[in-house]
Structure 1
Amino acid sequence: MRAALGAAVAACAVTALLPAAASAEPTTAGGLGSSVERVSVAADGTQADGDSAGASITPDGRHVVFSSSAKNLTPDATTGSEKVFVRDQQTRQIKQMSSNSTPIQPPVISGDGQYVAQWGKLFKDTKIFLSQAGTGRTIGIGCSGLSCSQPSLSADGRYIAHVATFNRPASRQSVEVIDWHAGAKVTVAEFEHTLPARPSISGDGRYVAYEDGEAGDVFVWDRTSGTSSGPIEDSSKGATLVQLSDDGTKVVYLSGSDTYVHDMPSGTDQLVPNVRGVAIDPTGRYLLYAPADTTGPSLTLRDLQTDTDKIVSDQPASAVSHAVSAGGRDVVFQSTAGGIVPGDTNGKSHVFVRHFG
């Protein structure tokens, strides 16, 4: 039952896609009391000629990373396959990250916007590619397994939590943290299976939340003690990890049709019923969620302290973890729906940022 639940909610992205998207400048839309802009555009505002998705944003809202098959986002964009791009919201410039592979899952960016980690296939195995956002230069990162996957970055990009898989065909795996500055590695947990582990590291690199995909349990490892606590959920229920907040105080997980926000200091859970949590802001206060049913807005931002909601998208849309900036000020998402901003003419999937306040 618990393994089945883990498989049923395996994707961290919550998806609902339909027709087209649009415009480079912030535009008030939908009567939502906020502004929205499309960020998967070239520096001159030209819309991307390919599909873009899987976006995350830095805590300060300045940098957005996403993958795209577009060929016109930068003058030197590589043609033919999906690549990773970083957009500086302050300068409106976009840069392609170099890599020898096509990304398998959404890229991740360090909290300071300086590093981007990609997970892609290289020959028979998968590898993690770490790039400097400013220069696009790739830094070699090795792990102890044949394949490395599911990267999560600390705020300064120094620590990389990931999964190392062993044997071919793969039969076991471990959750590891690499300190690539010091060339050191720590094993967080080991499993005799290869079901998703989804490690999520705190901003300071001290805590790592991870999942035992076979048992359907969520744990949190503490670098200071070198031990893991958990399962953090009710042991009679299965759970799937969504994200650890950057400050390490909140863990979002799914169980059944509900979302729970676990407070690490108190050990208590806050229930958000009948919704699927997608991401939490760095402070742990704002939860991005999608409805469990098909009615209402596709993405909503909840203030967990006041239990008030703001609509992020009232049209079909999806998002991934780390999609919310600090204080819930900005939310990145993707959609093929028309009418989100004016000027959408090509029916592609685009990346947007909803600005609140």
Structure 2
Amino acid sequence: TASGVTSRVSIDSNGVEGNKSSSSPSLSSDGRYVAFSSHATNLVPGHMNQSVDVFVHDRDTGETTLVSKNSSGSEGDSDSVRPAISADGRYIAFDSFAENLVNGDTNDDPDVFVHDTTTQDTTRVSVNSDGNEANGRSLAPAISADGRFVAFHSFASNLGGDTNDVRDVFVHDTTTGDTSRVSVRSDGAEGNEYSVWPAISEDGRHVAFFSRASNLVSSDNNDADDVFAHDRETGETTRLSVDGAGTEGNNDSRTPVISGDGRYVSFTSLASNLVPGDTNKESDVFVHDQTSGDTTRISVDSTGIQANSSSTGPALSADARYVAFDSFASNLVADDTNGVDDVFVHQYLPDPPPSTTTTSTTTTVPPPDDEDFFTDDDGHLFEDDINAIAAAGITRGCNPPANDNYCPDDSFLRGQAAAFVRRALDVPASATDHFGDDDGNIFEDDINAIATAGITRGCNPPANDRYCPDDSFLRGQAAAFVRRALGLP
């Protein structure tokens, strides 16, 4: 589809519009396949069940197919909703009240299923590791990129060591058949209150959810819903609805979404203490960086001014560069006079630099310009590299205002490093003053910009209230800068 074109996908394979409402879209990574739920009865031939069903539309071929059906092709006998599609569009998870999608469904509760659009098999995943059906409702699936792992929350008590009598979050491995609970403390102890609405990283390792439990992490004393992430590889559970210093939120935080690599989690919160200057007394949208520990408010205008009404419902791009959300605020953009809820997109992470092409984790800088920018690096081992980054505008020299020298053998200062990284990645300016020892420093703006972007944390952990701009920049620190800047795992 051409750039800028809006097309309707809740149509039948001949392009005829649905005769009733459709909602809850889920998109494959390339945008070709769109899964959605619909009340419409005319999207596929022979649709007779008068229930809400899940469909998938192929935007290349125009074909619309029923998903909420059993492996023999018979449509479900009750409502099916909340689809979640794998990256390639092959696997679609959904929850359903239907009792005829698999054999032996006798629990009289909604279950979570996965439909394979290639084999046409439908499998129930809200089962324990022995394949026994859940003895309570299971809802709200999230699926890994390859479709192997499906997270969901469930009222069931028989999915594995569950004695807390509240909703928990589980992950089912469709390859091994194992079902594991992830709404647990880092030592495996179960939560003492409900945990719901999971989001899962592309590889299935990281699962975010929100919970009322007060025992998933230490010092949880706010008596509020919090957002957590569980690392299925290490077993560690971390609270994310905290400020940059780790202080817990003073109100409810909910509805997490997670980036592809699991590093970033966006969520909605009523807390007023997650960032400085939150005085609007409204729900806001935030992003927490699990690597840097920073929490950033997203529901602001392009200059950083807070929203004048509530913001909710975040959606996060796989690379975490963009966060979409809905808001009643009228001051996020100019000329917002409609008085209704609108959808906005905020750029959280900077664009890759124009001079850099990123493939996987390897960054390639174009060949150096023919121009020789400095006089003191002739014949130097790194002369070509120096000319290349000078041509790209990343360095300006070491002897302003002339800047005809690069000083290739001088020590590199932390302030200079901030400027290099900011120019290389085109990191946007930030109004937040992160450190107390860089006021008036020539690199102060660069330091604040990369701190807001989560590239630096400071020089004096755990306080990290100083940057030490005039200290030497060590090779180990350089590694940390580059890793955070490029989002390397």
- TM-score after normalising by structure 2: 0.52
Question: What value does the CA root-mean-square deviation take over the aligned residues?
Answer: 2.6
The answer to whether 1:280 aligns with 2:312 is: no
2:339 matched to which residue of 1?
295
Instruction: Please report how far the alpha carbon of residue 159 of structure 1 lies from its aligned counterpart in structure 2 after TM superposition.
Output: 0.6
Structure 1 residues 155-164 or 231-240, which shifts more?
A: 231-240
| Alignment counterpart, residue 270 of structure 1, candidates 296, 300, 303 | 296
2:139 matched to which residue of 1?
149
The answer to whether 1:212 aligns with 2:211 is: yes
Rounded Cα–Cα distance in structure 1 between residues aligned with 2:241 and 2:255: 10
Rounded Cα–Cα distance in structure 2 between residues aligned with 1:72 and 1:65: 16
Q: 1:284/1:111 Cα in 2 relative to 1: closer, same or farther (>3 Å)?
A: same
Rounded Cα–Cα distance in structure 2 between residues aligned with 1:264 and 1:42: 43
Max Rg structure: 2
2:397 matched to which residue of 1?
none
Secondary structure of the residue aligned to 2:167 is: strand
Code of the residue aligned with 1:160 in structure 2: it is V
Return 5+ residue gaps in structure 2 as ranges.
71-75, 100-106, 129-133, 159-163, 184-189, 214-223, 271-282, 300-306, 330-337, 352-489
Instruction: Please report how far the alpha carbon of residue 173 of structure 1 lies from its aligned counterpart in structure 2 after TM superposition.
Output: 2.9
Instruction: Please report how far the alpha carbon of residue 207 of structure 1 lies from its aligned counterpart in structure 2 after TM superposition.
Output: 0.5
| Alignment counterpart, residue 236 of structure 2, candidates 223, 227, 233 | 227
Q: 1:101/1:306 Cα in 2 relative to 1: closer, same or farther (>3 Å)?
A: farther
Aligned residue runs from structure 1 range 189-204, under 5 A: 189=183, 190-194=190-194, 197-204=196-203
Instruction: Please report how far the alpha carbon of residue 55 of structure 1 lies from its aligned counterpart in structure 2 after TM superposition.
Output: 0.7
- TM-score after normalising by structure 1: 0.70
Native 8 Å contact 2:169 2:196 kept in 1: yes
1:324 matched to which residue of 2?
none
The answer to whether 1:171 aligns with 2:171 is: no
Native 8 Å contact 1:213 1:240 kept in 2: no
Q: 1:301/1:236 Cα in 2 relative to 1: closer, same or farther (>3 Å)?
A: closer
Q: Deviations over 1:20-59 (max 9, x none)?
A: xxxxxx79xxxxx922111111122111111111111112
Rounded Cα–Cα distance in structure 1 between residues aligned with 2:77 and 2:316: 29
Rounded Cα–Cα distance in structure 1 between residues aligned with 2:126 and 2:327: 39
Code of the residue aligned with 1:143 in structure 2: it is V
Q: 1:224/1:171 Cα in 2 relative to 1: closer, same or farther (>3 Å)?
A: closer
The answer to whether 1:85 aligns with 2:74 is: no
Structure 1 residues 52-61 or 273-282, which shifts more?
A: 273-282
Code of the residue aligned with 2:232 in structure 1: it is R
Native 8 Å contact 1:96 1:136 kept in 2: no
Rounded Cα–Cα distance in structure 2 between residues aligned with 1:239 and 1:305: 22
Structure with greater helix share of residues: 2
1:188 matched to which residue of 2?
182
Q: 1:193/1:297 Cα in 2 relative to 1: closer, same or farther (>3 Å)?
A: closer
Secondary structure of the residue aligned to 2:154 is: strand
Rounded Cα–Cα distance in structure 1 between residues aligned with 2:344 and 2:77: 34
Q: Deviations over 1:151-171 (max 9, x none)?
A: 111011111111232369x93
Instruction: Please report how far the alpha carbon of residue 211 of structure 1 lies from its aligned counterpart in structure 2 after TM superposition.
Output: 0.9
Aligned residue runs from structure 1 range 321-336, under 5 A: none
Code of the residue aligned with 1:255 in structure 2: it is S
Code of the residue aligned with 1:140 in structure 2: it is R
Of structures 1 and 2, the one scoring higher in RCO (CA 8 A, sep 6+) is: 1
Return 5+ residue gaps in structure 1 as ranges.
1-25, 28-32, 308-357
The answer to whether 1:254 aligns with 2:268 is: yes
Code of the residue aligned with 1:259 in structure 2: it is V
